[in-house]
Amino acid sequence: MVKQLDYHTMREIFTRFHAADPEPKGELDHVNAYTLVVAVALSAQSTDVGVNRATRELFKIADTPEKMLALGEEAVIEHIKTIGLYSNKAKNVIKLSRILVEEHGGVVPNSRAALEALPGVGRKTANVVLNMWWGMPTQAVDTHILRIGNRTGIAVGKDVVAIERAIEDHVPADFQHHAHHWLILHGRYVCKARKPMCSTCLIRDLCTFEDKNL
């Protein structure tokens, strides 16, 4: 396992990320907290592009849990059947919508525990919603961050929780809010799994990756 990068290197890395993209955004389309929860839950094992395509018309007619329940599971399936695991995801969308109506008055709760209690919502989804909608400095660790965290030395750990903790512990506080977005986008478009684009990487002189493709 590579060594965790030191404070000054971490600060330089995130200073560069910030300079290149001061306000990074998540790529899932949504119009409110509820549609964000649904979109992130649907994105498991699916691309953001695919989810956005599937929800484009769905969210026009069902942007609240009440409207989603009125629409019904079969209709939800028709909208999202182009994405992976659509049948189970449709069930979870209906279940979480019912819980929101019956237990939360139709309002999306803003604690991690309450969000994780919703069907189809795990820790990553909860962290995305808390970060993007309520501005909390939570770290949503996906496969991109797990990979590049260890590859670069930015966040070293054996699993998702360890990586999340490494980001919280080592990324300077003034960069915490956007940290997971910078890392996700870097892993998705630059530090790719099979062919990392080291020659155009803005932190290539700072990371610990030994097999740089320059």
Active-site residue flag, 3: no
Catalytic residue among 3, 89, 142, 192: 142
Task: State the Cα–Cα distance between residues 102 and 173, nearest whole angstrom.
Answer: 38
CA gap 147, 154 in Å, rounded: 10
What secondary structure letter does DSSP report for 105? T
Closest CA to 100 of 42, 29, 38: 38
- Torsion angles phi and psi, residue 208, rounded to 5: -95, 0
CA dist 151 and 206 (Å) reads: 12
Q: Annotated catalytic residue: which of 81, 89, 95, 124?
A: 124
124 is catalytic: yes
Phi-psi region of 162 (alpha: psi -120 to 50; beta: other; left: phi over 0): alpha
CA distances from 172 to 26, 59, 131 (A): 21, 37, 17
- 25: phi then psi, degrees, rounded to nearest 5: -120, 150
Catalytic residues: 124, 142
